[in-house]
Amino acid sequence: MTRETVAPAMITFNEGVPGFETCRQFLLMASPESEPFAVVRGVGPDGPSFVAIDPARVVTGYALVLDPADLVRLGSDGAQQLLFLCIVTVHEDGHATVNLRAPLVINPASLRGIQIVTPESPFRIDHPLRAA
């Protein structure tokens, strides 16, 4: 069975993402050719672009508990399956790291997203990304 490319989804980050607060609309793009990665691209001439990955593909048992206020920001009643993505950084020497401490959280039902910054998290902002 082959997977099909999914049309890009427009996700609204009402508060932007840290460092890019003025960019509120992002396209989420994924395809079989780019798996396990997705691209999150800000809409507009100065929109940032990020490569992201499902943190469960990086760390077994990755979990993050959202507080009720975060669920409200996502337009979720807690019953929806949420999408977690972590930003990947490729460094000058070619090695890549994943920010597991500040995931993007997206509600596919409402097409709203937030970035959760968890300073008390046991996860690193520079977790090494290793080939599978």
For 76, the domain range is 6-128
Work out how many domains the chain is built from and give that number. Answer: 1
What is the overall mean pLDDT for the chain? 90
Is residue 67 included in any domain, yes or no?
A: yes
User: In 14-25, which positions are buried (b, 16+ CB within 10 angstroms) versus exposed (e)?
Assistant: eebbeebeebbe
Is residue 1 included in any domain, yes or no?
A: no
- Average pLDDT of 72-77? 94
Give the span between the Cα atoms of 84 and 19, in whole angstroms: 19
pLDDT at 74 over 90: yes
- Average pLDDT of 37-52? 93
Q: List the CATH number of the domain containing 112.
A: 2.30.290.10
Per-residue pLDDT tens digits for 108-130: 999 999 999 988 889 999 999 98
Give the span between the Cα atoms of 104 and 19, in whole angstroms: 14
